[in-house]
Amino acid sequence: MVHTVETMAEALAHLTAAEPAFVPVIDRLGPPGPRSSERGTAALLRTIVGQQVSVAAARSMWDKLTGAYGDPPNLHRLAAASDEELRALGQSRQKAGYLRSLATLTLSGELDLDHLPEDNEEAIALLTKVKGIGRWSAEIYLLFAEGRPDVFPAGDLAVQIELGRLLGTEAKPAEKWLRERAQSWAPYRGAAAVLAWHSYNTKVL
């Protein structure tokens, strides 16, 4: 859905028809560009490595991890790695557990990223079985790696702030309220999040 100019345009056409409040931001900033990210286990490993650290630190930690376990990392070796081995590569004890959790679930076949359930909530429930992967991370993966059009990360702070501003709410809307408001935007709720980030991150002189 968000992977090409054409599919993004289709989604935005639906959104602006369903929510006229989105028209001015597109007129002012233009449409957001297509977005996609890597698909597969390595993408989720990167997500775990990058949690709560700067972009530069995450890149350095990823380079150390792939230097030791291959690129993409060998899951058998990663599942067997000790806390001490992973801490020597810059991973916290907590992240070491998360990395092993993902490797173990993938190797067991319980998590098959090539065949996630088509139902978004079922896919999210499966992804969040991985320690360290919460709902937000699962939604971001499904939206950008798989391009699922109706995945809506309503818990994202920037999405809440910017959609609240665009919709004219007096305060940052709660996640529950935003999910209810977004029901009429289906089946392209993911594009609403992309539009919110586009607006939030774009400065117009």
Mean pLDDT of the chain: 94
At 103-116, the pLDDT tens digits run 999 999 999 999 99
Summarised one tens digit per residue, pLDDT across range 100-153 is 999 999 999 999 999 999 999 999 999 999 999 999 999 999 999 999 999 999
Helices (H), 75-181: 75-80, 83-87, 93-108, 120-127, 135-140, 157-167, 175-181
Q: Quick one: average pLDDT of 53-72?
A: 95
- Tell me the pLDDT band of 203, cut-offs 50, 70 and 90: low
Query: Token pair for residue 80?
Result: 């067997």
Alpha carbon distances (Å) from 73 to 56, 97, 155:
20, 15, 30
pLDDT higher than 70, residue 17? yes
Q: What is the pLDDT of residue 13?
A: 95
Q: pLDDT tens for residues 27-47? A: 999 999 888 888 999 999 999
Two structure tokens written together for 78: 């990663």
pLDDT reported for residue 32: 93
Which tokens is 37 given?
């990210």
Q: What is the pTM of this model?
A: 0.91
